[in-house]
Amino acid sequence: MGGWEFLDIITERRYNEIFPLLKVILLSSTIDPKDIEKSKSYPMVLDFLSKPITREMLEELKNNNA
């Protein structure tokens, strides 16, 4: 199952209503702006990060979402 399919299932089956605190950070090898925009249509998505992920990226996530 890919990431988009996962997000679609969570949304379609309303798991996000059962788990309202669920947050997702997408990690992808794409840099396509369309994918970044698409990720914003899912309310549970906190951020979209492009690989490779760095220690600084993780620190920023930790500090912004603590």
In the chain, where are the structural domains located?
3-64
| Predicted pLDDT of residue 42 | 93
* Chain centre distance of CA 42: 8
pTM of the model: 0.75
The length of the chain is 66
Which residues does 37 contact at the CB level (< 8 Å), separation at least 6? none
* Euclidean distance between CA atoms 66 and 59, whole angstroms: 10
For residue 2, the model assigns a pLDDT of 87
- How high does pLDDT run on average in the chain? 88
- On whether the CB atoms of residues 44 and 22 are closer than 8 A, the answer is yes
Residue type, 8: D
| Averaged pLDDT in 10-residue chunks for the chain of 66 residues | 90 86 90 92 90 90 76
